[in-house]
Amino acid sequence: MCFLFLVLCLYSAVFIHELGHLLIGGLCEITVTELAIGVGPSILSVKGKNMNFILGLLPLGGHTFFKPKQLSFLKKFLLNLSGVTFNFIAFIFLFYIYVDGNLTEGLIALLSSIQNGTMLSYLQQLFIGKDNFNLKDFSIMLIASNFMFFISNLMPVPPLDGGEVVKDILEII
């Protein structure tokens, strides 16, 4: 049961991330040709009139392909950071709901639990598996998944979003 919730949380975080790229791409008037949620062999593939949708086997990433178009630095920058921005917004929103609107005290408690190691041990229990899995555990897993995608995609390593931003910055230097 825990494994299924983990998979659902990871797919949700990838979907939120790719939705950010898709929506900002639309605002920048860029045509999306392919949206993939998950990587590896495809479980589901749907060809639309202008866009293909792919559901990959592993919920560890995804991609949004756009029709090639010359973009300004600002539009590329916004497009590359839109996925992590959506993950961060989802993290803050879900965390806000989880702490009943008391964001300041909740963030202080979160930072404290990270510093003293209790959060890590709790997440290890969640991800390894618990006997009694509840909605609170699912919420924490969803919050952690979005935070994980936010942090990991900021790494300056191509093809991650952070790597694309570094590449764009180097192009204008």
Active-site residues: which are they? Answer: 18
Q: Are 62 and 42 in contact, with CB atoms under 8 Å apart?
A: no
Q: Are 62 and 149 in contact, with CB atoms under 8 Å apart?
A: no
Q: Within 13 Å and on the Cβ side, how many CA atoms surround 110?
A: 17
C-alpha separations of 167 from 28, 52, 158, 171 in Å: 20, 27, 8, 6
Q: How many Å apart are CA 89 and CA 74, to the nearest integer?
A: 20
